Each structure stands twice: as structure tokens, then as C-alpha cells.
């Protein structure tokens, strides 16, 4: 009996060691795939968004959206240039940039980030906000030099197909209701709010903003089976489109990576958003 019990214990121990080895191998393989392959495979997300009050004359307006480039030692010029060329093949009518062009305000990559974006152009223009990783004094001039409009708690008005369209952009740290209200005050009903973080959906929905475009979450960057995007659970929307009351929001997974240069079950993307009236 003693020998049998000892044999049983050894067998269980061997099984646990085997399972542990398989688990570590799976994790190592997933990380390696996320580093060498997955984070470089930029996808085009094409989605139709139903927008409350959107005029029929602007139905089909195509908005290109890029965010969270994080140009750095681990996010190369080629990665961002590929994202730019990929979006340009979609011929958007309007392009919006959602912030975080570099990581941790690293000045070494400010101009390189702008250089990688130089191929962007659209008939209605290119408009940008800054993210929490961007230093306003550094990033704004290089984007402006490209002919892009940088919206810092400000609003601009366009005429597209004979209709007025307002674009409002928030600074990352602007979050009080009265400050958001001030930025959008006087806007036309055809309003697009650009907010780097989707946390501003709360204020936007309370103010009946028709459309919000955000980034910041990276879609979680690492999405684990059964657990999901653990690092992004605190956001009202982690990735993709959603509606809250009369407000539609789209949150992009972004292009680059931050802190760890790995993506798992969360490929980088550029988005082409086709706007339609909500019925």
C-alpha cells in the first residue's frame, strides 16, 4: 500500500509539472507571437455608425480615425507609416487623430512621430487632439506644421456637402461638466467630440453629444481568454462602438503599444467610420 501511495503521489506531481510546463510554454508562445507578429499586423476596421440627428445629406461621410501611435524605441517609423498608408488607401473624407503620438512625453520621438504622419490628407482636413503621453508645447507645433488642426479644449466648424459640421476636441485632463459644456457651447447639432479617453462618454451622453471618438485604451492591448482586457476594465467602452442614450461612441484599439511591446488577441487598427443617420 505504501508503494502504491508513493507511486500515486509521484504521478500527480508529474502531471502538475507537465501542466505547468505546458502553461508556461503557452504563455511564452503567446508573448513571443504578440511581440514579433501580432503587434505589427495593422487591420482596417470598417464600421457604420448610426448617429442621432445626423443629416441625410451627410449620410455616408467617411471618417478616418488613428490614435495611440506611441512612437518610441519599440514602435518604429515603419509601423506608423504603414498605418498611415493603410488608412489613405480607404480615401476618407475627414481624418481625426486621437492623441498619444509618443510615450511618456519623450522629446526624442516628437518629430519622428510627425514625420510618420506626413502622408495623411483628406478633403475636409486632418484634426487632432493630444493624449496624456503628449507634451502640448512639443507636439502641437509639429502637428500644426503638417497642416493639421490641433483642438485643445476648442471647437472648429466645417462645411461639408453644404451642411455644417462641428468638431470639438478636449484636452485629456478636461473632465468637469462645466468645462466640457463650455467647449461645445454653440455647436451645431452635427457635432463630433474628440476625447482621448472614453471616460468622457459620461459627460457627452449627459449633454446629448451625437458622436464621440476616443482611443487611450489600446483595446486592452492584452486580452486574455476568459478574463478579457484586464488592464482596461475601468473604461465604459474598451473598444469598438456603443451607444449611451443619444450618444454614439467609437473607441479605437490604436496603432502602437505602451509599457510592454506586446499585443495578444488585440490587433492594432486604423478605423474607417461611415456615418449614417440613426432612425
Q: What is the CATH number of the domain that holds 126?
A: 3.60.21.10
The answer to whether residues 19 and 116 belong to one domain is: no
The answer to whether residues 3 and 64 belong to one domain is: no
The answer to whether residues 134 and 178 belong to one domain is: yes
Q: In total, how many domains does the chain have? A: 2
Instruction: Note whether 61 and 246 are within 8 A (CB).
Output: no
The answer to whether residues 187 and 251 belong to one domain is: yes
Would the pTM of this model clear 0.85, i.e. be above it? yes
The answer to whether residues 129 and 188 belong to one domain is: yes
The answer to whether residues 231 and 119 belong to one domain is: yes
The answer to whether residues 54 and 19 belong to one domain is: no
The answer to whether residues 60 and 4 belong to one domain is: no
The answer to whether residues 16 and 79 belong to one domain is: no
Task: Kindly report the three-state secondary structure assignment for every residue of the chain.
Answer: CHHHHHHHHHHHHHHHHHHHHHHHHHHHHHHHHHHHCHHHCCEEEEEEEEECCCCHHHCCEEEEEECCCCECCCCCHHHHHHHHHHHHCCCCCEEEECCCCECCCCHHHHHHHHHHHCCCCCCCCEEECCCCCCCHHHHHHHHHHCCCEECCCEEEEEEECCEEEEEEECCCCCCCHHHHHHHHCCCCCCEEEECCCHHHHHHHHHCCCCEEEECCCHHHCECECCCECHHHCCCCCCCEEEEECCEEEEECCCCCCCCCCCCECCCCEEEEEEEEECC
Q: What is the pLDDT of residue 231?
A: 82
The answer to whether residues 208 and 233 belong to one domain is: yes
The answer to whether residues 178 and 241 belong to one domain is: yes
Domain carrying residue 3? 1-36
Q: What is the pLDDT of residue 19?
A: 37
Q: What is the pLDDT of residue 244?
A: 96
**In a structure prediction context, what are the per-residue pLDDT tens digits for the chain, which is 279 residues long?**
444 444 445 565 554 444 344 344 445 565 666 555 678 899 999 999 999 999 999 999 999 999 999 999 999 999 999 999 999 999 999 999 999 999 999 999 999 999 999 999 999 999 999 999 999 999 999 999 999 999 999 999 999 999 999 999 999 999 999 999 999 999 999 999 999 999 999 999 999 999 999 999 999 999 999 899 988 889 999 999 999 999 999 999 999 999 999 999 999 999 999 999 997
Q: What is the pLDDT of residue 39?
A: 83
Q: What is the pLDDT of residue 37?
A: 61
Q: What is the pLDDT of residue 6?
A: 46
The answer to whether residues 49 and 102 belong to one domain is: yes
Amino acid at each position: 500500500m505504501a508503494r502504491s501511495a508513493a507511486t500515486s503521489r509521484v504521478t500527480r506531481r508529474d502531471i502538475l509539472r507537465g501542466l505547468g510546463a505546458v502553461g508556461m510554454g503557452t504563455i511564452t508562445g503567446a508573448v513571443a507571437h504578440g511581440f514579433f507578429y501580432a503587434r505589427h499586423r495593422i487591420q482596417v476596421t470598417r464600421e457604420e455608425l448610426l448617429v442621432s440627428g445626423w443629416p441625410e445629406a451627410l449620410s455616408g461621410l467617411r471618417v478616418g480615425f488613428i490614435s495611440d501611435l506611441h512612437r518610441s524605441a519599440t514602435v518604429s517609423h515603419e509601423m506608423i507609416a504603414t498605418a498611415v498608408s493603410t488608412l489613405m488607401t480607404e480615401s476618407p473624407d475627414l481624418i481625426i487623430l486621437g492623441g498619444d503620438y509618443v510615450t511618456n512625453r519623450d522629446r526624442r520621438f516628437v518629430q519622428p512621430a510627425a514625420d510618420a504622419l506626413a502622408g495623411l490628407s483628406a478633403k475636409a482636413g486632418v484634426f487632432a487632439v493630444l493624449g496624456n503621453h503628449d507634451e502640448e508645447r512639443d507636439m502641437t507645433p509639429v502637428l500644426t506644421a503638417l497642416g493639421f488642426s490641433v483642438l485643445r479644449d476648442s471647437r472648429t466648424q466645417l462645411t461639408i456637402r453644404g451642411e455644417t459640421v462641428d468638431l470639438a476636441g478636449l484636452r485629456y485632463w478636461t473632465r468637469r461638466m462645466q468645462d466640457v459644456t463650455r467647449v461645445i457651447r454653440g455647436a451645431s447639432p452635427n457635432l463630433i467630440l474628440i476625447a482621448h479617453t472614453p471616460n468622457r462618454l459620461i459627460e457627452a451622453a449627459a449633454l446629448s453629444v451625437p458622436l464621440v471618438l476616443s482611443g487611450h485604451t489600446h483595446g486592452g492591448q492584452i486580452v486574455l481568454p476568459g478574463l478579457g482586457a484586464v488592464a482596461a476594465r475601468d473604461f465604459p467602452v474598451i473598444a469598438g462602438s456603443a451607444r449611451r442614450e443619444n450618444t454614439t461612441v467609437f473607441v479605437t484599439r490604436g496603432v502602437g503599444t505602451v509599457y510592454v511591446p506586446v499585443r495578444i488577441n488585440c490587433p492594432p487598427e486604423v478605423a474607417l467610420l461611415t456615418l449614417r443617420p440613426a432612425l
